[in-house]
Amino acid sequence: MRSLRAAGWDVVGVARRADRLESLAAETGASAFAADLTQQADVDALAEWLAASGPVHALVTVAGGAHGTDLVEDGRTEDWRWMFEINVMATQRVVAALLPLLREAADVEDRAQAHADLVFLTSTAAQRAYPGGAGYNAAKAGQSMIVDALRLELAGEPIRVVEVAPGMVYTEEFTLNRLRGDQAAAEQVYEGVEQPLLAADVADVIAYALGTPGHVNLDLITMRPVAQSAQHLLTRGPLRVRR
């Protein structure tokens, strides 16, 4: 919200926790709509509300969440189902509901303004598997395939489809939730890593992608902290120039 508001966008924030959403909206001047995007009734209500509120020029989906770090043979079906529901099915629901509004916003005479945007926040977990991550790998790869398919399905329409895939991002809740509330284990994930990405870094990249000229499509932006050279190669300790 902050980055897009700073870039001049009118923003509608959508999330489950109404209290936190309202607080952020009050801070940024954005609008707020509380909804659980895993529930079709909530998605339909959001689409109806947006249709009555004005044109929708961009949809930024920040679907995400992981449960557990189990190996495939030890995986919990309920965890895998939850990850698929929140990463894949929620993405499909909201795109299907809002795509007509994006088409309407892009259907204008002024060619400079005749485009709309779909931006998807996925993960480098969609690009490379790792032990203990198969459930999340599968869910994010599924979401990434939605992005690829949409870009082909929307060929010929003035609708940009952008994927932003971050690596290690330090947030208060993602790893803590994944590790079932184990604070000590969550802190160890980031221990010694010099400057992991922050949510604000990712938000700035999303705002940049939306701010490019309408004929420019950034298909895939992979971003990592410098300390993470690849999905499997993470430097712990200070980054130093070799002499």
Average pLDDT of the segment spanning 11-38: 93
Where exactly are the structural domains of the chain? 54-234
CATH topology of domain 54-234: Rossmann fold (3.40.50)
Of all residues in the chain, the percent with pLDDT exceeding 90 is 84
Tell me: pLDDT of 191 over 90. yes
Q: Band of the pLDDT at 63, cuts 50, 70, 90?
A: confident
- Rounded mean pLDDT of the chain? 94
Per residue, what are the HEC states of the chain? CHHHHHCCCCCEEEECCHHHHHHHHHHHCCEEEECCCCCHHHHHHHHHHHHHHCCCCEEEECCCCCCCCCCHHHCCHHHHHHHHHHHHHHHHHHHHHHHHHHHHHHCCCCCCCCCEEEEEECCHHHCCCCCCCHHHHHHHHHHHHHHHHHHHHCCCCCEEEEEEEECCEECCCHHHHHCCCCHHHHHHHHCCECCCEEHHHHHHHHHHHHHCCCCCCCCEEEECCCCEEECCEECCECCCCCC
Average pLDDT of the segment spanning 49-65: 93
Q: What is the pLDDT of residues 122-139, one digit of tens each?
A: 999 999 999 999 999 999
Q: Which of 130, 136, 190, 208 is catalytic?
A: 136
Q: What is the pLDDT of residues 71-114, one digit of tens each?
A: 999 999 999 999 999 999 999 999 999 999 999 999 987 776 78
Specify the pLDDT at position 112.
67
Note if 190 is an active site residue: no
How many CA atoms lie less than 13 Å away from 78 in the CB half-sphere?
0
Average pLDDT of the segment spanning 7-18: 93
Q: What is the pLDDT of residues 151-167, one digit of tens each?
A: 999 999 999 999 999 99
